[in-house]
Amino acid sequence: MIHIELQVELNYEIDAQGADFVFNIHAAQTPSQAISAESLLLSQSVVPHLHTDQATGNRYMRVRALPGELKLKYAATVDLAHHRADPAELGEVPVYRLPPEVIGYIYPSRYCQSDRLVRLAINEFGKLRQGYGRVQAIRDWVQSRVTFTPNSSNSSTSAIETLIERVGVCRDFAHLMIALCRAVNVPARFATGTDYGADPALGPPDFQAYVEVYLGDRWYIFDPSGTAIPMGFVRFGTGRDAADVAFATIFGGVRSHAPVIRASAVEDTVRGFVLPHHCREALSTDSGPQVVSGV
């Protein structure tokens, strides 16, 4: 089991007209990811509206902020008991057997224009044996072709541009991997949360975007940027792509400061807490079909 103490601090300065925010920075609650303690502090005395999306479990918080400074502090204690599987036993699911709530994730989306990449994906991956290994090959293809470079992309950068320009941040690696998976009819979705284990040379701890792919009977985690230790990811949200699960969607004139994020894992053999580490098993924080179909 992984035990993580998480702290997120966000700072904004808001114009005279005020601004609306939709945050997605609460840790998701799933059978594999339990929240044992949680707190949220807002520097303004405004009432946030919380909403958990039934289909995804994403926890959105809307805030109608007043002019001036807005400071937000979120802290959570998160216990992760990943579902683990042997990659060799994880097959792709044929389109006709995909659960209805999964099928939308093979369609193209704003930043993952898979419809334009079908020939490329078949040319590159069409002959590989289907299953976890093929998805891993897509991940490796993306990782080896794109160079991680801070500030090399912006909020309108999509998989097509990343494929051309060959540079990006974790968000861009994720969009390209998702687009390529969908182009061979493998459901893939965008996941957000907090980073763990990244090389400090890449910058201070940050939010993380990664990929979940539907294999066998649930969604498995992939980290196409290869910068982190996926076992330490705390999941906030999942969606079609970054349009669905931005950490903060802002309406109004706002200046943003860089987020301050701390995610520290606790090692404690008595309580069974190990540190996140690279492993060859497939990892999922998803609970499988029985819960999904219960939505």
Alpha helices in the chain (DSSP H): 100-103, 118-125, 132-145, 159-165, 170-183, 289-292
Q: Please give the DSSP secondary-structure letter assigned to residue 219.
A: E
Q: What is the footprint of a second copy within residues 103-132 (CB under 8 A)?
A: 103-104, 107-110, 112-113, 115-117, 119-120, 123
Distance between CA atoms of 216 and 90, rounded to whole angstroms? 5
Query: Can you say whether the dihedral through the CA atoms of 266, 270, 274, 275 is positive or negative?
Result: positive
> Does residue 156 touch a second copy according to CB under 8 A?
yes
8, 14, 26, 60: which one contacts a second copy (CB under 8 A)? 60
- Rounded least distance, CB 122 to a second copy, Å: 9
- Rounded least distance, CB 17 to a second copy, Å: 12
- Rounded least distance, CB 86 to a second copy, Å: 28
> Does residue 92 touch a second copy according to CB under 8 A?
no
> Does residue 94 touch a second copy according to CB under 8 A?
yes
Q: Please give the DSSP secondary-structure letter assigned to residue 185.
A: T
62, 67, 77, 91: which one contacts a second copy (CB under 8 A)? 62
Distance between CA atoms of 74 and 41, rounded to whole angstroms? 6
DSSP string, 143-205: HHHSEE-TTS--TT--HHHHHHH-EE-HHHHHHHHHHHHHHTT--EEEEEEE--S--GGG-S-
Q: Smaller CB distance to a second copy: residue 60 or 247?
A: 60
* Binding footprint of a second copy, residue count (CB under 8 A): 44
195, 212, 244, 286: which one contacts a second copy (CB under 8 A)? 244
Q: Smaller CB distance to a second copy: residue 166 or 262?
A: 166
Distance between CA atoms of 56 and 221, rounded to whole angstroms? 15
> Does residue 165 touch a second copy according to CB under 8 A?
yes
| Other CB atoms within 10 A of residue 124 CB | 16
17, 36, 54, 269: which one contacts a second copy (CB under 8 A)? 54
Piece of the chain touching a second copy by CB under 8 A; list 48-56, 82-90, 189-197, 227-235: 48-56
7, 29, 43, 249: which one contacts a second copy (CB under 8 A)? 249
Pairing between strand 147-148 and 167-168?
parallel
- Rounded least distance, CB 261 to a second copy, Å: 24
164, 199, 201, 270: which one contacts a second copy (CB under 8 A)? 164
Q: Where are the beta strands (DSSP E) in 158-206?
A: 167-168, 188-194
Distances (CA, A) of 256 to 90, 155, 185, 192, 250: 42, 14, 38, 19, 10
From the list 273, 242, 275, the residue with the least C-alpha distance to 173 is 242
Q: Please give the DSSP secondary-structure letter assigned to residue 278.
A: -
- Rounded least distance, CB 239 to a second copy, Å: 9
- Rounded least distance, CB 35 to a second copy, Å: 20
- Write down the residue that tokens 């470079």 correspond to: 149
The residues of the shown chain that bind a second copy, judged by CB under 8 A, are 20, 22, 49, 51, 53-55, 60, 62, 64, 94-96, 100, 103-104, 107-110, 112-113, 115-117, 119-120, 123, 145, 147, 155-156, 160, 163-167, 185, 243-244, 249, 251, 295
